[in-house]
Amino acid sequence: MSGMRPTGRLHLGHLVGALSQWVEFSKTDETFFEVADLHALTTAFEHSDVIAASVRENVLDWIAAGVDPERSTIYVQSHVPEISELHLLLSMVVPVSWLQRVPTFKDQIVALGGDIATYGFLGYPLMQLCDIAIVRADTVPVGKDQLAHLEFGREVVRRFNSLYGPTLVEPQGTLSEFPDVPGTDGRKMSKSLGNTIDIADDDATTTKRVRSMITDPLKVRRNDPGRPEICPVFALHNIVNVPRVPAFEAECRTGALGCVYCKRAGAAALAHFMQPVRERRASLDPAAVDTILAEGAAKARIVAAATLADVKAAMRLP
Ligand code: SF4
């Protein structure tokens, strides 16, 4: 089980990171993928228009990346109200101090300012557990920065099961470190930094973005030797142009390769890499996404209703 917050367009970093992993998982396992609109509200409650506009676009990106709605259950978090009900029930047994000590809580308060210190934001890790527990997911791909969230969720499951008897599945994380995809400015690609290459862009826009990328600042003239290890254009070649990497690396170091040519080759390789994804995206009927999401929610709700019934029975609710 995994999910993404619909807070804007998806980019190359999502494609070679989480989405490629989702596609791999869905080849061998039963998979649930959630558009986490309620999670998005915890930090973007003043921009709910962006959330609404991003839901369908994000699902189009997922399917274009290869996530197959026939094999995976794809749904919107708020379309499965059992998640919210489970959240309420579990909130009765979770000490506030457990939530306050989740490291990302304090970090985000500092990063995003006091306005984010809402009741909903405090409960964010519990809602994450509910996303997982409601579909009885046993495996969750997590990055290192999310291990604390998962451990918190496992503690909540253990507490619930010891209070009311074995009811909820304790999820296991599979540690997944995605390659850091540098953005056009050399920092990690992120929509908040405005340095992305978006899945939904066309080739002309992508090429322009690659042309604007920073390079090694010490390689001023074409024949100056460069340092590929600090150059985001070289990192791009490492992702989309693997066979030519050894030659480009050697030629950059000796000064035989100029940045203009290197970027042009990078843009061409990127266009080739993105071609099947973009063709698939263009062939999709956006209206069909609504059907996929309706079917996904209906399927998820069957499992969710059974889990919720078990939880209520365990808690002896009438
Ligand atoms: S030649 Fe390529 S890898 Fe080397 S500094 Fe220029 S853009 Fe970067």
Q: Is 267 in the pocket of ligand 1 (CB under 6 A)?
A: no
DSSP one-letter code for 2: E
pTM for the model stands at 0.91
Q: Which of 222, 234, 251, 254 has most ligand 1 atoms within 8 Å of CB, for mutation?
A: 234
Q: Give the three-state DSSP class for 302.
A: helix
Q: Count CB atoms within 10 A of the CB of residue 262.
A: 25
Chain Cα centroid distance, residue 194: 17
Q: What are phi and psi of 168, to 5 degrees?
A: -100, 150
Q: Is 36 in the pocket of ligand 1 (CB under 6 A)?
A: no
Looking at residue 113, its pLDDT comes to 60
Looking at residue 168, its pLDDT comes to 97
Q: Is 219 in the pocket of ligand 1 (CB under 6 A)?
A: yes
Measured from the Cα of 259, ligand 1's closest atom is: 6
Taking the centre of ligand 1 as the mean of its atom positions, its distance from the CA of residue 16, in whole angstroms, is: 22
Taking the centre of ligand 1 as the mean of its atom positions, its distance from the CA of residue 229, in whole angstroms, is: 9
Per-residue pLDDT in tens (0 to 9) along the chain, 318 residues: 999 999 889 999 999 989 999 999 999 999 999 999 999 998 878 888 889 889 999 999 999 999 999 999 999 999 999 999 999 999 999 999 999 888 877 777 666 665 667 888 889 999 999 999 999 999 998 877 788 889 999 999 999 999 999 999 999 988 776 777 899 999 989 888 999 999 999 999 999 999 999 999 999 999 999 999 999 999 999 999 999 999 999 999 999 999 999 999 999 999 999 999 999 999 999 899 999 999 999 999 999 999 999 999 999 998
Q: Is 265 in the pocket of ligand 1 (CB under 6 A)?
A: no
Contact 126, 90 (CB under 8 A): yes
Looking at residue 100, its pLDDT comes to 87
Looking at residue 176, its pLDDT comes to 72
